[in-house]
Structures are given as structure tokens and as C-alpha cells.
Amino acid sequence: MPETGHIKTSSAYIQTFKIFAGIVVVCLASVYLLSSILIPVIISFTLYALFEPATLYLVRHNINHSLSILIVLVLLVFFGFIAVGFALPQLFDQVSLLQAKLPQILLQLEGFLTRYSSLLSNQIGTDLDVSGLIISLLTQSSSFAQSLLLNVSNKVLGFTMISLLVPFLTYYLLKDFKTVRNALMNWLPNSSFELGWLIYHRVSKQMLLYTRGVMIQSLVMALICITGFTLIGMDIPILLGSITGILNLVPYVGPVISIILSLLVASAITPFDPSLLYLGVLVIIAAQVVDNLVVIPAVIANAVNLHPVMVILGIIVFGSVFGTLGVILAIPAIATGKIIYVNLYADILNANRKSSR
């Protein structure tokens, strides 16, 4: 009997892997086909997750469903235009300021690294030609970073035009998503119908919690950092705080990049004030403390249950394959895959045991 049980387990693993691999292939094909509109689709689903409760609240208070959606979207567009009208000019100014200061930032970094490379050479007793390598890297980085900033600035208008799709996609998601979902679920064979709904409900619940949680988390981080950077007199505080909030979407790696960026910006302020280096890092650390002690336990503690090693490897793999977007989507994709795989395996193993009785 134990040997028979082991065979059933192995068979269940093989069957689960085959089905899961097929699901992954279909998902990758869908991402490829939707690549041109993938960002508006992701933003629309995020807004759907955020604003569906408000729509349902209005419906429960005897307001027509379509009218409830329009009210929510009109309020979204109204406050969105106010926010963009207020923030976008400042962000453009701060991007231009960062672009102007970039050579100075890189020169400060070059001097800092050159000094410490000579100290390191003296300690290990070997003459390291680090300065030559640093100068070469910084020259390449400078041209790349400036072209990147220029490219981002030039594409803001194009991205704005694409984002006009978002309200329409969000409207139809709020209006028809459940109808389309039910129709798709009805295509499942009877033997998989119950399992399909079980997986859907678990995935949707987890993704809704995670999406709402990370949006709140990023907003809190951005507001704390913008306030902190402004108080200590850091240049481009709104841009720097906003980038810190966005980078917080990437666990472990994001905060480190934020600290490095704050150090570079602080080092370029004239006259140079060493205390800004420490204060900039202190602002990010304080925001991380609030995030870990207050925000994460309150809003996203139970959203995903992934091992840190799995998260790091997932970020590396997704980032290398899909770029920046892959880094952001790594955690929800891995969490979704885990739910699908675990439930598939449990159902197949249970079916194998029943068939052998």
C-alpha cells in the first residue's frame, strides 16, 4: 500500500506539471498577443480591483449599476486631472533639474569611489586601477542616463494618449467583467467546473488584497518620503519621493536603489552638505520602518504567502525576461501560480485515490 500511494503521488505530480505547464504557455502567449496594450490593461484591472467596492456600495444603495460605474469613473477622472494638472508640471521641472544635475552627480560619485578605491588598494596591498574603470563606466552611464531621461520625457505624451484607454477599459471591466467571467467558466468541463471556481475565488481574493495593499503601501511610502525630503532640503523631493514609492513595489531591491538614488542627489547639491547624505538615508529608513511595522501588518500581511528566496528568484527571472514590468508583476504572478499548482495537485491526487478504490 505505501508503494502504491507513492506511485499515485508521483503520477499526480506529473499530471499537475503537464497541466500547469500548459496554463503557463497559454498565459505567456496571451501576454505576447496583448503586449501592445498590456500596460493599459494592467492599470485598468488595478483600478477595477480598487473601485469595485465603491461601485457595489452605490448599487447596494439603490443606484443603477451603470450609473454607479459612471459616478465612480467621473470622480476618478476629475481627481485624476486635478492631480495630473498639479503634479505633472512639477515632475517635468524636477526631471529637467535631475537631467541638468546628472553630470555633477556622476562626478561626485566618481570622486567618492576613487578616494575609497585608493584606501582599499592600500589595505589589501595591491594597486587597483579602479579609477580608470569607474571613469569608463560613469562615462557610459552618463550618456545612457541622459538619453534615458530624454526618452522618458519624450514618451510622456505618448503614454498619456495610451492611458486615455484606461477609463474606457475600466468602465467595461466594472460593467461586464463578471458576465464574461461566468461565460468563460461555463466552458470548463463538468469534472473541472468546481475546481475552476475554487481556484478563481482564491486567486481573485488574494490578488484583490495584494493590489489594494501595494497601492496603499506605495502611496504611504511616497508621501512620507516627499515630506521628509522636503523638510531636509533635498533637491527634487517630489520626483525622488514618487520614485521611492514606486520602487517600493520591488521588495528588497527597491529600497536599496532608493537609498543609492538619494545619496547621488544629495551629493550633487551645492554647496555640498555631508549631513544631507545621512538625512536622506534616514528618511527612507524611517519610511521603511513605518511600512514594516504599520502598513504591511495592516494591509498586506495575509495577501501573499511566499518564501523570501522564491520572491528574490522570481524578481530576477521575471525582470530578465519582461524587464521593469516583470519585476513589478513577479510577486502576484508567482502567488497566482502557487495557488493554481497547489489546488490542481490536490484535486488530481484526490481523483487518483478515488479511482483506485
Instruction: State the average pLDDT over residues 61-80.
Output: 85
What's residue 148's pLDDT? 46
Which of the four pLDDT bands, split at 50, 70 and 90, describes residue 1?
very low
What's residue 13's pLDDT? 81
**Cβ pair 22, 337 in contact under 8 A:** no
- Residue 106 is assigned to a structural domain of this protein: yes
- Residue 32 is assigned to a structural domain of this protein: no
Render pLDDT for 202-230 as a digit per residue (tens, 0 to 9).
888 888 878 878 888 888 899 999 999 99
**Percent of the chain topping pLDDT 90:** 3
Instruction: State the average pLDDT over residues 159-188.
Output: 82
Candidate ranges 87-91, 286-290, 314-318, 325-329; pick with highest mean pLDDT: 286-290
**Cβ pair 340, 203 in contact under 8 A:** yes
Determine the Cα–Cα distance for residues 108 and 76; give it in Å rounded to an integer.
43
Residues spanned by the domain of 67: 51-187
- Residue 248 is assigned to a structural domain of this protein: no
**Cβ pair 116, 133 in contact under 8 A:** no
Mean pLDDT of the chain: 76
Q: 5-19, 87-101, 243-257: lowest mean pLDDT where?
A: 87-101
The answer, yes or no, to whether residue 155 has pLDDT greater than 70, is: no
Stronger pLDDT, 252 or 44, i.e. the higher one? 44
- Residue 289 is assigned to a structural domain of this protein: no
- Residue 101 is assigned to a structural domain of this protein: yes
Q: 35-49, 124-138, 151-165, 175-189: lowest mean pLDDT where?
A: 124-138
Task: Give this prediction's pTM.
Answer: 0.68
- Residue 269 is assigned to a structural domain of this protein: no
Stronger pLDDT, 276 or 101, i.e. the higher one? 276
Candidate ranges 109-118, 161-170, 192-201; pick with highest mean pLDDT: 192-201
Stronger pLDDT, 106 or 247, i.e. the higher one? 247
Determine the Cα–Cα distance for residues 83 and 345; give it in Å rounded to an integer.
47
Render pLDDT for 29-50 as a digit per residue (tens, 0 to 9).
888 887 777 778 888 888 888 8
Render pLDDT for 309-357 as a digit per residue (tens, 0 to 9).
787 788 888 888 887 778 778 888 888 888 888 888 888 878 777 666 6
Determine the Cα–Cα distance for residues 41 and 31; give it in Å rounded to an integer.
11
What's residue 227's pLDDT? 92
Which of the four pLDDT bands, split at 50, 70 and 90, describes residue 102?
low
**What's the chain look like in SS3?**
CHHHHHHHHHHHHHHHHHHHHHHHHHHHHHHHHCHHHHHHHHHHHHHHHHHHHHHHHHHHCCCCHHHHHHHHHHHHHHHHHHHHHHHHHHHHHHHHHHHHHHHHHHHHHHHHHHHHHHHHHHHHCCCCCHHHHHHHHHHHHHHHHHHHHHHHHHHHHHHHHHHCHHHHHHHHHHHHHHHHHHHHHCCCCHHHHHHHHHHHHHHHHHHHHHHHHHHHHHHHHHHHHHHHHHHHCCCCHHHHHHHHHHHCCCCCHHHHHHHHHHHHHHHCCCCCCHHHHHHHHHHHHHHHHHHHHHHHHHHHCCCCCCCHHHHHHHHHHHHHHHCHHHHHHHHHHHHHHHHHHHHHHHHHHHHHHHHCC
The answer, yes or no, to whether residue 121 has pLDDT greater than 70, is: no
Tally of structural domains, the chain: 1
Stronger pLDDT, 224 or 73, i.e. the higher one? 224
- Residue 123 is assigned to a structural domain of this protein: yes
What's residue 142's pLDDT? 47
The answer, yes or no, to whether residue 129 has pLDDT greater than 70, is: no
Determine the Cα–Cα distance for residues 212 and 174; give it in Å rounded to an integer.
16
What's residue 91's pLDDT? 63
What's residue 265's pLDDT? 78
- Residue 315 is assigned to a structural domain of this protein: no
Determine the Cα–Cα distance for residues 11 and 22; give it in Å rounded to an integer.
17
